[in-house]
Amino acid sequence: MKKNNLSKKGNELLKIYSEFVKSGYKTVDNKKVTSTYNDFELVAYKDILKENFKRYKIKSILDYGSGGSDWNRKNFDESTNQSAMEYFNLENVKKYEPARFLDERSKNDCVICFDVLEHIFLGDLKKVLIDIFKCSTKLVILQIACYNAKALLPNGENAHITIRHPQWWKGYVDSISSDFPDISILLMCSESYRKTKVFSNWNAKMWHEDKNYKIDY
């Protein structure tokens, strides 16, 4: 699970993202941003996350592509001053952030992956999603941006290199989840900043238990 099986392009991108962490990046309007990937993006989704963590009895998490997230920092929930660990009543959080050379990948109740997959080279996407599913025992939560980023790569391309329609992502994740029938999925796709389409939770086991042949969820 610790092995990096990315393609040549995937590893080139990883080096670029590592450089972003150290030196920042240029934006589409030609500005320089020096504080990179430090936002705790899941703050905006804390209600739906809490609901799902309770539903699936989640106690351990792997934050896949964790950026600079701090699960122990106070005031994650402003009304209670609780950290994310406290707010979600978690016992353990592991992180995987290859751009920061942090790799704590292991089996956990849930893998959460926020604003990562749109940065992955299309040729590596299947490998990355399989890795995500292999690290989960109960639930996978994916939040994917389906629009251009403010950041630019050094060659002038937008940093969101794999932009697809939410329904495309649903079909792609379906094709991976069929090999992990006991893992449930919560898929959220943002078509613009904070405008998110949330798909109903599913797992492949449900398809086989459904009385119909045609599956529409």
Q: How far is Cα 204 from Cα 182, in angstroms, rounded to an integer?
A: 7
Read off the pLDDT of residues 119-178 as tens digits, 9 standing for 90 and up.
999 999 999 999 999 999 999 999 999 999 999 999 999 999 999 999 999 999 999 999
In the block, which residue shows the tokens 């078509």?
Answer: 191
> In the sheet that 136-145 helps form, which strands lie side by side, from edge to edge?
102-103, 92-97, 60-64, 108-114, 136-145, 184-192, 195-198
> Above 90 in pLDDT, residue 217?
no
Residue 1: per-residue pLDDT: 45
Read off the pLDDT of residues 55-86 as tens digits, 9 standing for 90 and up.
999 999 999 999 989 999 999 999 999 999 99
Residue 121: per-residue pLDDT: 98
CATH of region 8-209:
3.40.50
> Above 90 in pLDDT, residue 40?
no
What is the pTM assigned to this prediction? Answer: 0.95
